[in-house]
Amino acid sequence: MMDLQRTANAANFRGDIRTTHADFQVDEIPDFEPSGEGEHVCVKIRKDGQNTEWTGRQLADIAGIARRDVSYAGLKDRHAITTQWYSVWLPGKEAPDWQPQLPESIQIIEQVRHNRKLRIGTLKGNRFKLVIRNCEGDKTQLESCLAAIRKDGVPNYFGVQRFGHDQQNIVRATSWFEGHSKPKASKQRGMYLSAARSLIYNHCLSQRVAQGQWSSAVDGDVFKLDGTNSCFYEPLNDTLIQRVTELDLHPTGPLWGAGELVSQGEVAALESSMTEVFPVLCAGLEKHGLKQERRSLRVMVGELEHQWLSDDCLELSFSLPPGSYATSVLQELGEFRDATELPTET
């Protein structure tokens, strides 16, 4: 995995994360209001150490329906305690008694009828509560870093989980693009395309961070309106600079695909150079039907708070919009050992 650049305000803290599932908690912030009636049963679930897909299969099996008739708004970490909504298509049927047929690690919190199927992205974001143990480092520097994050956000990197264990999603994408193999299913196809896109974007963003230009307007930038998917290019002027400063607009980077880059000047030069850095991935994404899109280079971190549970145990809480990663916040704070990745004794 490439070393991603950190900002000038980054801290050099160290510690351990995910020592227990309770040390990494994620609560979904939904973007829908259940109607109270309809063909779908929306179920709010709290999961301890279970992934989203596996839980969805359990609901489908209990309801006696196809897996495709159970949906959710977003994937959640497995090595965590997470809360999220599912929708189960049960037209004309009563909802089963879920809880006795589920493991103790899956708890039903609420259920209500709804007239629509939940789709990916039907959420305002996620709220995180993280506990970092065995902390070492300069607490004053950490405070300064947290203050900078509250003001400017963090680089909006894709998380390492996007790339699979040992970057296998990139390895398989490369093999596919070079004609040595093919994905076995559409889900794998989507994973490999997303991983390739994410790697290119991360590299481009890392270059902008190294230049100190990830959160400021640069002539040639394509801008995204805060809270929307609306992007546009306009020659740099004082109004644009002010709107970026006020967090109304954000500079963007490329999600690679076919078509011309909208960016101009030095920004376009940097982005165009990705075809030389990642020739196989860029060509493969273009060949397999993806179009050029944009992603904000920075993400604002909401409700960021911290407290010391003990002298070497830090609790962080914050919220992020959909598609952003808690690991992007942690990266700014320092280097942390993930207990789920440490070798176990046999």
Q: Which residues carry out catalysis?
A: 77
Is 98 within 8 Å of 43 (Cβ atoms)? yes
Q: Would you say the C-alpha torsion 257, 259, 154, 81 has a positive or negative sign?
A: negative
Closest CA to 23 of 331, 314, 343, 335: 314
Radius of gyration of the chain from Cα atoms? 21
SS3 4: coil
Is 281 within 8 Å of 174 (Cβ atoms)? yes
Name residue, tokens 């004082």: 238
SS3 232: strand
Is 10 within 8 Å of 158 (Cβ atoms)? no
Q: Dig out the tokens for 281 from the structure.
A: 């991935």
Pairwise CA distance, residues 158 & 27, whole Å: 19
Closest CA to 329 of 310, 295, 303: 303
SS3 7: coil
Pairwise CA distance, residues 76 & 29, whole Å: 12
Pairwise CA distance, residues 58 & 86, whole Å: 12
Q: What are phi and psi of 189, to 5 degrees?
A: -55, -45
Name residue, tokens 């101009």: 264
Q: Dig out the tokens for 103 from the structure.
A: 């493991």
DSSP letter at 291 equals: B
Pairwise CA distance, residues 187 & 250, whole Å: 31
Phi-psi region of 247 (alpha: psi -120 to 50; beta: other; left: phi over 0): left
